[in-house]
A and B are shown apart, each in its own frame.
Chain A
């Protein structure tokens, strides 16, 4: 089944304790992206990646890092989480940049992060 898999689904952590949210897709998509969803703000892009070793900032990159060492994986790293990073996070992938005009995103199920 074509899918984007995020782990963990739920995470409660303390301020300053480094954490990683994993994201993996099995559709051979070159494009992957991270979003955070907050009430009243919709989805805001954190980082995106056009291909292996190619990443760029989205709208709200502060406090986050990403890496893209393999096509299928795109982990989101919070080096020193703070309470304002409490949010619902989504990873997505698509055929963007692969010559197709099917730009629909496939989203993961989300990671609900609470930083106390």
Chain B
């Protein structure tokens, strides 16, 4: 069975500092990986995805994620955090080929401190 682990319930970072939100996954075959962001009282918004190709994926709002096959990780990063980045972030995984269910992590709350 596929799974996603987000080991940190909350990440605190000072405004202007780089941020990393961690994600590891388990899936059969090649993974398709996603990051979503949820602002308070809103639905989830798609940030970025990895399907194939470059291990560094660039997404919305200056976020990027690094795919590491050997470590089965897909950590979300941003060089300089903004207070407005404070939100709940979800990592998700899907197997490749045919219909595959998408499994979400439990989410990591990012708090950017002014």
Contact = CB atoms under 8 A, between A and B. Distances in A.
Interface of A: 4, 35, 40-43, 45, 48, 50, 58, 90, 92, 96-97, 101-110
A110 B107 contact: no
User: Size band of the B side of the interface?
Assistant: 20 to 34
Contacts, number: 50
Interface of A is mostly: loop
8 contacts: A4-B43, A42-B106, A96-B99, A103-B32, A103-B49, A104-B46, A109-B41, A110-B42
B43 A40 contact: no
B96 to A, nearest CB: 9
Q: Of A4, A48, A50, A107, which is in contact with the most chain B CB atoms at under 10 Å from its CB? A: A107
B43 A110 contact: yes
A103 B96 CA distance: 11
B105 A42 contact: yes
